[in-house]
């Protein structure tokens, strides 16, 4: 609505709306703008190939994804809105920002403007904090918008978020605050005394195996699910994917579902088959995403369950996973990673692939209110 208002106030100016993916633009942004234009009684044309809506007598609104900002060429706009920029790592967010500056140069009666509307995903280590808070100037304004002050949201909206996220992240999202991730543990909600379980594998029950592919050190965590509570009940290291399948043979009396990272579709242990092909050919079910989720999404899924006591770990059966959850920290705002395998980040990734795939966080949907998240 800000972009539309600016276009209506000064016919002839163009605008740009950026989002993390083209799916978000196609499923959310463009339909929302079309509905707004219909409500305003304005005629328009949609050019799907150019990702552009032209409003009769006013100007054009362009839609672009952060997937490849180098393709932001051959157009100029007077005003831009960047949505959820802080979901990107600092270097990619900066690349998007620089491209937005390049494109936001169309002559207009007022100053060119760029707005960044985002949740503070990267905390005080992200580009958003560095650009708009740490290096604050009079050229822009920072508005920390609290969800609790939004009169249009359902009463249970905030409660739904707090029930899924761990309290630290939930408070940051709900109050629009930037928090430091540099000094804290990644899985700060984990406590081996609180989350330990003596649960062991029972005869014939279904097993869920998270796997992080690494040459020379594939880390696998084995889980069971009781109701809505996942429990880690075993772990092992395999040299490669074929060795992983051989070690799964110990569970031959169980139905085993494997939760790998998406890189397994392309990675090849041998010249003939991908890692996922090898697992499938060995007779195991696979539940793999088309692309790996964002690291922070995986972390939030695990921490959300840990904070609400909905994950259990048999610390005796899974000593490596236990230590990894206790010790992995942040380095410059990113979960620490190691070049040798197996390492603590491999164990955490193995658990995270399964947890996020099976128990993802879903933000509540607000019916009839476009543009709210």
Q: Are 147 and 153 in contact (CB under 8 A)?
A: yes
Query: What phi-psi label fits residue 368: left (phi over 0), alpha (psi between -120 and 50 degrees) or beta?
Result: left
* 373 has pLDDT over 50: no
pLDDT digits (tens, 9 = 90+) for 162-171: 888 888 888 8
pLDDT at 366: 57
Stronger pLDDT, 268 or 76, i.e. the higher one: 76
CATH 3.40.50.300-classified regions of the chain: 2-143
Residues 295-312, mean pLDDT to the nearest whole number? 94
* 265 has pLDDT over 90: no
Query: What phi-psi label fits residue 371: left (phi over 0), alpha (psi between -120 and 50 degrees) or beta?
Result: left
Q: What CATH number has the domain spanning 192-358? A: 3.30.420.280
pLDDT digits (tens, 9 = 90+) for 208-261: 999 999 877 899 999 999 999 999 999 999 999 999 999 999 999 999 999 998
- % of the chain residues with pLDDT over 70: 93
State pTM to two decimals: 0.68
Residues 176-184, mean pLDDT to the nearest whole number? 73
* 267 has pLDDT over 70: no
Which one is the CATH code of 2-143: 3.40.1160.10, 3.40.50.300, 3.40.50.10140, 3.40.50.410?
A: 3.40.50.300
Rounded to an integer, what distance in angstroms lies between the CA atom of residue 306 and that of residue 174? 19
CATH 3.30.420.280-classified regions of the chain: 192-358
Q: Which pairing describes strands 59-65 and 15-19: parallel, antiparallel, or unpaired?
A: parallel
pLDDT at 272: 43
pLDDT at 273: 63
pLDDT digits (tens, 9 = 90+) for 15-39: 999 999 999 999 999 999 999 999 9
pLDDT at 134: 82
- Phi and psi torsions of 39, nearest 5°: -65, -35
pLDDT at 115: 95
Q: Which residue has the tokens 């005394």?
A: 193
Three-class secondary structure of residue 203 per DSSP: coil
pLDDT at 369: 42
Q: Which residue has the tokens 């998007």?
A: 96
pLDDT at 305: 96
pLDDT digits (tens, 9 = 90+) for 93-140: 999 999 999 999 999 999 999 999 998 888 888 899 888 888 778 888
pLDDT digits (tens, 9 = 90+) for 333-368: 788 888 888 999 999 999 999 999 999 987 765 554
Q: Which pairing describes strands 52-55 and 44-47: parallel, antiparallel, or unpaired?
A: antiparallel
Q: What angle do CA 142, 148, 152 make, to 5 degrees?
A: 100
> H helices within 205-363, ranges in order?
241-248, 275-281, 295-307, 319-327, 344-358
Q: Are 298 and 352 in contact (CB under 8 A)?
A: yes
Q: Mean pLDDT of all residues in the chain?
A: 89
């Amino acid at each position: 609505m800000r972009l539309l208002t600016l276009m209506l106030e000064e016919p002839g100016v163009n605008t740009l709306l950026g989002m993390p993916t083209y799916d978000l633009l196609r499923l959310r942004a463009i339909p929302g703008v079309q509905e707004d234009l219909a409500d305003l009684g304005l005629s328009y044309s949609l050019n799907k190939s150019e990702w552009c809506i032209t409003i009769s007598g006013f100007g054009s609104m362009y839609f672009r994804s952060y997937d490849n900002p180098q393709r932001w060429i051959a157009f100029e706009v007077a005003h831009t809105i960047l949505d959820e920029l802080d979901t990107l790592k600092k270097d990619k967010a900066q690349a998007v920002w620089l491209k937005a500056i390049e494109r936001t140069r169309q002559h207009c009666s007022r100053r060119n403007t760029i707005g960044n509307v985002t949740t503070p995903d990267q905390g005080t280590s992200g580009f958003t904090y560095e650009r708009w808070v740490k290096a604050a100037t009079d050229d822009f304004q920072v508005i920390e918008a609290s969800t609790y002050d939004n009169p249009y949201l359902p009463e249970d909206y905030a409660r739904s978020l707090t029930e899924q996220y761990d309290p630290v992240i939930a408070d940051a999202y709900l109050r629009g605050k930037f928090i430091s991730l540099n000094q804290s543990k990644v899985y700060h909600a984990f406590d081996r005394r609180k989350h330990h379980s003596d649960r062991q594998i029972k005869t014939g029950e279904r097993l869920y195996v998270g796997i992080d592919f690494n040459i020379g050190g594939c880390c696998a965590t084995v889980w069971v699910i009781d109701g809505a509570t996942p429990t880690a009940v075993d772990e092992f290291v395999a040299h490669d994917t074929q060795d992983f399948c051989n070690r799964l043979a110990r569970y031959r009396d169980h139905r085993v579902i494997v939760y790998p990272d998406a890189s397994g579709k392309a990675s090849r242990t041998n010249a003939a088959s991908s890692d996922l092909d090898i697992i499938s050919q060995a007779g195991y079910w696979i539940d793999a995403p088309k692309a790996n989720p964002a690291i922070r999404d995986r972390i939030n899924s695990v921490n959300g369950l840990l904070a609400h006591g909905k994950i259990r770990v048999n610390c005796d059966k899974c000593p490596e996973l236990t230590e990894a959850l206790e010790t992995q920290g942040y380095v410059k705002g990113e979960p620490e990673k190691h070049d040798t395998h197996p390492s603590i980040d491999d164990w955490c990734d193995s658990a995270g692939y399964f947890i996020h795939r099976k128990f993802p966080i879903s933000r509540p949907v607000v019916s009839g209110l476009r543009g709210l998240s």
